[in-house]
Amino acid sequence: MRKAPEFTLQNTKGKPISLSDFKDEHNVVLLFFPLAFSGVCTKELCSTRDNMKIYEALDAKVIGISVDSFFTLKAFKESHNLNFLLLSDFNKEVSKKYDTLYDDFFGMQGVSKRSVFVINKKGNIEYQEILENSDNIPDLNKVQEVLAQLD
């Protein structure tokens, strides 16, 4: 188990949010996704939205992170009624820290890989899944199993 790299990113209102804001309070599920408004990302995040009661019952805050600007993420969040935080890693610093950047994503460099990290209240990574194929979605049942074992 390793310590989750600390970060501060802007939410959809341009307000800074840090991972440490949740320490000792909540478990955190970080969902890195390639690009807002793309098909699989929309499907994944809408599914997460529809299952928020499960994450809340497991005392977990869900945070979606992509390299989109916070302006794009704001439009994405509003258009799909997403009920969890979206953070902009526009400068790609956090995706690098979590080793989750594609070298080449349909000709674009530096796009976040679809991945999930479960971070406990102490700030340690309990589970991670980094996908090379962006058409795949992380095993969210496994994420929920891991969360259920945390206090």
Give the residue numbers annotated as catalytic, written as ranges. Answer: 41
Number of H helices, E strands in the chain: 5, 10
| Cα distances (angstroms) measured from residue 26 to each of 29, 96, 101, 108, 123 | 10, 24, 26, 34, 10
CA 130 to chain centre: 11
Three-state DSSP class for residue 82:
coil
Whole-angstrom distance, CA of residue 8 vs CA of residue 87: 9
Paired residues of 27 in beta bridges: 60
Helix, strand and coil percent figures for the chain, each rounded to 5: 30, 30, 40
Residue with tokens 């796009």: 111
